[in-house]
């Protein structure tokens, strides 16, 4: 699917969200994504798996964006220190509110790790 989208739209900024559906057993699949010039792949592994995300990020060129893994400033600090990602998605509703989100943002800016702010939605 990603290959088809990239072929049809070669110049758009393209990202994918894995929704924590994979493991390091899928490493070869992730390496294949490098050819599609993605801005990032979001949350490939389990939400509390910062160590394996570090292994993954070191093995692929495409930036890993952590989302569900980041619930606090300490989570962000550990992820950055371990090299688990190159981008962080800050969701204030998950990150203990606006104050903690600002702290995460400021840490990321100090460490030159881009951030973006997402939202959590519900399907009723």
pLDDT tens, 6-64?
Answer: 999 999 999 999 999 999 999 999 999 999 999 999 999 998 899 999 999 999 999 99
Q: Which helix (H) or strand (E) holds 5?
A: helix 2-8
In a domain, 124, yes or no: no
- Neighbouring residues of 91: CB distance < 8 A, sequence distance ≥ 6: 67, 101, 117, 118, 119, 120
Q: Is the pLDDT of residue 68 over 60?
A: yes
In a domain, 123, yes or no: no
Q: Which two tokens stand for residue 14?
A: 């393209």
In a domain, 60, yes or no: yes
Q: Are 4 and 12 in contact (CB under 8 A)?
A: no
Q: Give pLDDT, residue 96.
A: 86
Q: Give pLDDT, residue 122.
A: 52
CATH number of residue 25's parent domain: 3.20.20.120
In a domain, 41, yes or no: yes
Q: Are 30 and 59 in contact (CB under 8 A)?
A: yes
In a domain, 21, yes or no: yes
The number of domains in the chain is 1
Q: Is the pLDDT of residue 119 over 80?
A: no
In a domain, 122, yes or no: no
pTM above 0.85, yes or no: yes
In a domain, 61, yes or no: yes
In a domain, 95, yes or no: yes
Residue that the structure tokens 């570090």 belong to? 54
Q: Give pLDDT, residue 61.
A: 98
Confidence of residue 121 (pLDDT cuts 50, 70, 90): low
d(Cα 21, Cα 35) in Å, to the nearest integer?
A: 21
Q: Is the pLDDT of residue 115 over 70?
A: yes
Instruction: List the domain range (segments joined by +) for residue 86.
Output: 2-117
d(Cα 15, Cα 38) in Å, to the nearest integer?
A: 5
The mean pLDDT of 88-103, rounded to a whole number, is 93
The mean pLDDT of 79-94, rounded to a whole number, is 96
């Amino acid at each position: 699917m990603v290959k088809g989208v990239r072929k049809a739209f070669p110049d758009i900024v393209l990202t994918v969200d894995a929704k924590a559906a994979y493991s390091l057993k899928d490493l070869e699949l992730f390496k294949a994504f490098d050819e599609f010039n993605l801005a990032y792949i979001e949350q490939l592994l389990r939400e509390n798996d910062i160590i394996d995300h570090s292994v993954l990020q070191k093995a692929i060129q495409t930036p890993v964006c952590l989302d569900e893994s980041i619930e606090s400033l300490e989570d962000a600090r550990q992820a950055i220190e371990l090299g688990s990602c190159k981008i962080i998605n800050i969701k204030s509703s998950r990150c203990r509110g606006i104050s903690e989100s600002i702290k995460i943002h400021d840490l990321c800016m100090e460490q030159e790790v881009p951030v973006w702010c997402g939202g959590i939605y519900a399907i009723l």
